[in-house]
Structure 1
Amino acid sequence: MLLAIDAGNTNVVFALFEGRTLRGRWRIATDPRRTGDEYAVWLMQLLSIRGVAADEIKSIIISTVVPRALHNLEILCRHYFDVEPLVAGAGKAEYAIDIDVDQPKSLGADRAVNAIAAHERHGGDLIVVDFGTATTFDVVDYHGAYKGGIIAPGINLSLDALVGNTAKLPRIAIAVPPSKSVIGRNTEDQMLIGVFWGYVAMMEGLIARMRAEIGRPAKVIATGGLAVLFDEASDIFDAVDPDLTLEGLAILAERASKT
């Protein structure tokens, strides 16, 4: 079995694969200070609940956009699974795609892995939208080359900024507004309209501009925790693939095993 670890700015996601089949996933809040031992206490219990023994995991791959978290995750792999982990973008797990931007090494591992998975699963010209701590819009051409993209504040960051910098506005939950009206009748409704429909308008506007600049038909693939929520409110997505990053890690690990 393969253990894929995706360390993002908000959560670290652990996913168990048998071949390309996802057997389970678990997440824990990202904390660069969390030790390998702490990860092990938490993860081993979850694997046990699934009836999976540590020695059944034969390979591990890590993708991280939090460099300080990598060392402790590597300790987890070596000490508790007796596995030397692959690191996405390095060694046998090199991306092996053309990263056609000004500073290729600055591309986040999650975005490169998304590009690999999206190209293999969907093909053609693509715009990959990943709803995470930040929302990223990435262009992948029909050859599988990464061509660039956009980084925008995630919707929860936008809400945090709104609430944290005002004296009286309350904390609200992100949800599809109950009405399509954009004229709110109370404070909470007005906030939800501004945050949610404002975000949808931003997303649709940026995608329209990207499609025009690409100049060829481009499919839009959404991933990340809030992808399903926004799919309810817009018809801009051609596909929603919530596990795209994890699938990309499984692809990289499979390729590495053949080298």
Structure 2
Amino acid sequence: MLLAFDVGNTNIVLGLFQDGRMITNWRLETDNNKSADEYGMIINQLFKYEDLDINEVKDVIISTVVPSVLYTLQHLSVKYFHRKAIVIGAGIKTGLVVKYDNPKQVGADRIVNAVAAHAKYGGPLIIIDFGTATTFCAVSEKAEYLGGTIAPGLKISSDALFEKTAKLPKVELEEPGHVICRNTINSIQGGLVYGHMGMVDYIVKKMKAELQEYSADASQEVKVIATGGLATLIDGGIDCIDYVDKMLTLEGLEIIYRKNKKIRKKSPGPVREGRDCNYAEDSF
């Protein structure tokens, strides 16, 4: 079995795969203060709850936008799974041609999403990830990662409004049903949710127009894929999203694993704790 870690600023999402199929997935809070042992005990309990054998995990792959958690998870991989984890980064085979000015600046999650979306839906396409930040990525029909846009996510916007004002309360992120609101709670919800919907609609429209410059056929349909925890909320109020795919990142990790598992320059294991434990990223 393969255990995949998608580490975001707010949550760590884990996916367990067997023979290319996702068996189950879990969501944990990202905590810089947790040790490898603490995460290990939590994961062990999750396996036991689902009557799964943790010893059947044969490899680990990690995508992270939180560098401070990476060492912890690499340590966890060696200690609990006796494997050096594959880490998404420079040198990993993805099948994408990254057109960013500096490819190393592209978040690992954005690359993983692009790999999965192009494999599942083809191109050209736009991927929107509604996480701590809301990211928009453009991918051509030739599997070229062209770039994108990053905006504050809904939760960040909500937290900032609460923290930077004296009287405005913290609210649940849900659609109030109207924009002429008669109380403060609904007014904030309307501004956050409908404002985000408007932003998404506008950026997608602009991105579709710019994608025509990269396409041999300007009439070719651009598919829009949404992922992330708040994707369903935003999709409910706009028409520009074609598919909501909550497991896109985990599926992308499994695809990248299959592209890389046979071409490691270093053996992924097994290794023993305290010996042969190099926590730097493996090169591929």
Deviation at 1:21, TM superposition (A): 1.6
Q: Deviations over 1:48-72 (max 9, x none)?
A: 1112222200111011111111111
Q: Which runs of 5+ in 1 are unaligned?
A: none
Q: 1:23 is matched by which residue type in structure 2?
A: I
Which residue of structure 1 lines up, in the alignment, with residue 64 of structure 2? 64
Cα distance change on mapping 1:59 and 1:90 into 2, 3 Å: farther
Hey, what's the Cα distance between the residues in 1 that align with 2:28 and 2:156?
19
Deviation at 1:95, TM superposition (A): 2.6
| TM-score in terms of structure 2 length | 0.87
Hey, what's the Cα distance between the residues in 2 that align with 1:85 and 1:108?
18
Bigger Cα displacement from structure 2, 184-193 vs 135-144: 184-193
Q: 1:135 is matched by which residue type in structure 2?
A: T
Hey, what's the Cα distance between the residues in 2 that align with 1:176 and 1:55?
44
Q: Does 1:252 align with 2:249?
A: no
Contact kept, 8 Å, 1:2 with 1:58, in 2: the verdict is: yes
Cα RMSD, aligned residues only = 1.3
Deviation at 1:147, TM superposition (A): 0.2
Deviation at 1:162, TM superposition (A): 1.0
Q: 1:97 is matched by which residue type in structure 2?
A: L
Structure in which a larger fraction of residues adopt helix: 1
Which residue of structure 2 lines up, in the alignment, with residue 201 of structure 1? 198
Contact kept, 8 Å, 2:90 with 2:104, in 1: the verdict is: no
Alignment of 1:176-215 (within 5 A): 176-177=175-176, 179=177, 181-215=178-212
Hey, what's the Cα distance between the residues in 2 that align with 1:158 and 1:145?
31
Q: Percent of pairs identical after alignment?
A: 45
Hey, what's the Cα distance between the residues in 1 that align with 2:17 and 2:168?
44
Hey, what's the Cα distance between the residues in 1 that align with 2:232 and 2:193?
13
Bigger Cα displacement from structure 2, 20-29 vs 74-83: 20-29
Alignment of 1:67-146 (within 5 A): 67-90=67-90, 93-146=92-145
How many residues get paired?
256
Q: Deviations over 1:200-255 (max 9, x none)?
A: 01110111111111124311000000111112111211111101110000001111
Which residue of structure 2 lines up, in the alignment, with residue 225 of structure 1? 229
Which residue of structure 2 lines up, in the alignment, with residue 24 of structure 1? 24
Q: 1:14 is matched by which residue type in structure 2?
A: L
Deviation at 1:258, TM superposition (A): 3.7
Hey, what's the Cα distance between the residues in 2 that align with 1:209 and 1:224?
22
Alignment of 1:145-156 (within 5 A): 145-156=144-155
Deviation at 1:111, TM superposition (A): 0.3
Hey, what's the Cα distance between the residues in 2 that align with 1:122 and 1:36?
36
Q: Which runs of 5+ in 2 are unaligned?
A: 213-217, 264-284
Deviation at 1:12, TM superposition (A): 1.2
Contact kept, 8 Å, 1:88 with 1:95, in 2: the verdict is: no
Contact kept, 8 Å, 2:130 with 2:230, in 1: the verdict is: yes
Deviation beyond 4 Å, 4+ runs, structure 1: none
Q: Does 1:36 align with 2:36?
A: yes
Structure with the bigger RCO (C-alpha within 8 Å, sep 6+) is: 2
Q: 1:30 is matched by which residue type in structure 2?
A: T
SS at match of 1:233: coil
Cα distance change on mapping 1:90 and 1:44 into 2, 3 Å: farther
Contact kept, 8 Å, 1:32 with 1:68, in 2: the verdict is: yes
Q: Deviations over 1:20-56 (max 9, x none)?
A: 2211111221122321111111110111111222220
Hey, what's the Cα distance between the residues in 2 that align with 1:144 and 1:111?
13
